[in-house]
Amino acid sequence: MIFRKLFGRDSDPGDTKHSTESDPRHPPKEASQKAMPPSAANVLLRTAVSRDHGGWAVGETLLQRMEQEDQQYQRIETALAEIKGMMQFTAKSAEKAKRNQEKQFTSLRSHITDETGRICTEIESTMVQNTAIQVFESLLPALDDLDRLVDANGSEVRGSGDSDSNDNSGDDRGRKTLTIVRRRLVDCFSQFGIERVNIDIGVTRFDSEIHEGYPFDGDDGEAIGVAEGTIVEVISAGYRMGNKLIRPASVIVMGV
């Protein structure tokens, strides 16, 4: 009866009674009705029965197969869970790396912008300084002439006590005019940082870094009380822009 319910027919080869006689409780099916193909469970049971006709053997084989399938399914679920965790970790790592990359890019772009602005400012400042120096160097001969004229007129005015007062006033006005012109030129270039090398006659010591010295060849009486290495006269003024020397001062030095 068990095999009849499972397979729809007798499966016991030793049972010949029911194979020849019909069961009144189960009338034969219509001839036109086609037999259904066996299911996977039926195939498995048939295979088990063909090996061992005992019912317990069939059930045990089926349970073992189901346990194996359950274990395999659990392994697959475990592997899928691990893969899902790895994918989530990879996605989080990629998102974190992307944020870090964006921060680095923003910081790098800001640094490049700042450096570019600083370099442009330095280049612009250097160009302005170089241009000012070039213009100043081209005007240095004229500035030296003004210095000599002012000094010469000043000496003549100071030494012409017996001359007519009108001539003295005219020379004085000329000297003042030259002095004003020279002062305006010096003030103009001082706006760009160009200044004279400061020298105090009889006090300032000779410095080869900023002075171009010539030996004193005057009277010994003029050298009384003046220490060796002291500047006693300025031939031409020196100029500098900050720490950059444009032209050293030409001076006469005692004892050189």
Asked whether residue 30 is domain-assigned, the answer is no
Q: Are 223 and 256 in contact (CB under 8 A)?
A: no
Helix (H) or strand (E) holding 126: helix 55-159
Domain assignment of residue 84, yes or no: no
Residue 170 pLDDT level (bands cut at 50, 70, 90): low
Q: Please indicate, yes or no, if residue 32 is contained in any of the structural domains.
A: no
Q: Where are the alpha helices (DSSP H) in 160-197?
A: 165-190
Domain count, the chain: 1
Query: Is residue 107, in this structure, part of any structural domain at all?
Result: no
- Domain-embedded: residue 97: no
Residue pLDDT, tens place only, 192-227: 889 999 999 888 999 999 999 998 887 765 666 778
Q: Where residue 212 sits, what CATH number does that domain have?
A: 2.30.22.10
Is residue 155 in a domain? Answer: yes
Mean pLDDT for the chain overall: 75
What are residue 60's DSSP bridge partners?
none
pLDDT tens for residues 89-133? 998 888 889 899 898 888 888 989 899 989 998 888 888 888 888
pLDDT digits (tens, 9 = 90+) for 146-166: 888 887 765 443 333 444 445
- Look at residue 182 and tell me if it is in a domain: yes
Domain extent at residue 246: 132-253
Q: Concatenate the DSSP letters of all residues of 43-64 into one string.
A: HHHHHHHHH---HHHHHHHHHH
* 3-state SS, residue 38: coil
